[in-house]
Amino acid sequence: MVKQNFRAHISMLAATILFGANYWIAKGLMPDHLLPLQIIFLRVAGTLLIASLIQFSIKDLRSLKIDRADFPRLILSSLLGISINQMMFFTGLNHTTPVDAAIINSANPIMVLLFSSWILKEKIGTSRLGGILLGAAGALILILFGNPLPTKTGHFNGNMFILVNTAAWSLYLVISKPLMVKYNPFIMMKWMFLIGFIGIFPFSIRQALLIDFASFDSYTWFSILYVIIGTTFMAYFFITYSLKRLSSAVVAYYTYLQPVLVAAIGIIIFAGTISWIKIISGLLVFVGIYFVTKRQRSGL
């Protein structure tokens, strides 16, 4: 059990790193190379193709089915975690900065805690609550005092899209948890992205047909492949796997690492410096992780 939980935490760390880099890579694609709905179409369709190929190529996965009684939860989870989440995130990111988006996404653990308490009737213990508050403090310190980039104003609409994205993702983590425990990650990926693709198709197909693939340079192709394979297929698989062993609140907690990662990438790209503010904020996040995971290990 301890070894499996350790693997789940490693998976979440890997997913968080993939998501952290995605803020900059996806932002670099918009709007000069691709529009938000074009990226979403390629992202969801590409991941659906990969997941379907894996299922059909592995004999043990071909016969796996989803129980009919679980389809309402599966459909709702897919629309929240794939369709709404993707459309809101990329539309919002197109109108705001990576730092702003990471800041707003830091509300994810708090939302998950509230949704879990409301829907699943989970108790909010002092260890988990303390860890979440420590992580929030670390993220806020980094946001308010350690941001290497000036946060611009006038991004209200983009920030509101990101806020809806955060709420949809938080609710997805809570609602999908029973399905992740019950089913194989690959079968879940195939069905979630199939339903998610159906959800985004009416909104994105018109723009998708206008994609000029001939104009893409090597970096554009790299960015697209990263978004499809790295940020979508691999990251979602890591999260799906982690939800088998970790609570929704623990999985959501790793969102607090994203502002740290976004700031670190900003330091590298914009030749920023490492300050005591960044060190303190990072330590608060990691100490918070200790308290959250300690509660998870104790089974409370």
Q: Is 234 in contact with 47 (CB distance < 8 Å)?
A: no
Which pLDDT score is estimated for 153? 47
The alpha carbon dihedral of 124, 12, 262, 41 has a sign of negative
| CA 167/CA 172 separation, integer angstroms | 9
Indicate the pTM of the whole model.
Answer: 0.78
Q: Is 99 in contact with 151 (CB distance < 8 Å)?
A: yes
Q: 24: exposed, middle or buried (C-beta count within 10 Å: 0-12, 13-18, 19+)?
A: middle
Nearest to 181 by CA among 112, 241, 238: 241
Which pLDDT score is estimated for 49? 94
| CA 60/CA 211 separation, integer angstroms | 37
Going from the C-alpha of 246 to that of each of 1, 49, 61, 129, 257, the distances in angstroms are 11, 28, 24, 16, 17
Q: What are phi and psi of 152, to 5 degrees?
A: -80, 155
**pLDDT truncated to tens, each residue of the chain (300 aa)?**
566 678 888 998 888 888 878 877 887 888 778 888 999 999 999 999 999 998 888 888 888 889 999 999 999 999 999 999 989 988 888 887 776 677 677 777 777 877 887 787 767 677 777 877 877 777 677 656 655 444 444 467 787 888 889 889 989 989 998 898 899 888 999 999 999 999 999 999 999 999 988 888 898 999 999 999 998 899 888 988 888 888 887 888 787 777 777 767 766 664 555 667 667 766 776 677 667 656 444 444
Helix 185-208 × helix 71-78 angle, to 10°: 50
| CA 125/CA 66 separation, integer angstroms | 34
> Could you tell me the two tokens for 37?
């709905």
| CA 99/CA 245 separation, integer angstroms | 30
Tokens 């918009």 — which residue? 30
What sections of 176-247 are H helices per DSSP?
177-182, 185-208, 218-225, 235-242
Q: Is the peptide bond before 31 cis (omega within 30 degrees of 0)?
A: yes
Going from the C-alpha of 72 to that of each of 44, 69, 188, 237, the distances in angstroms are 20, 7, 14, 21
Q: Is 223 in contact with 28 (CB distance < 8 Å)?
A: yes
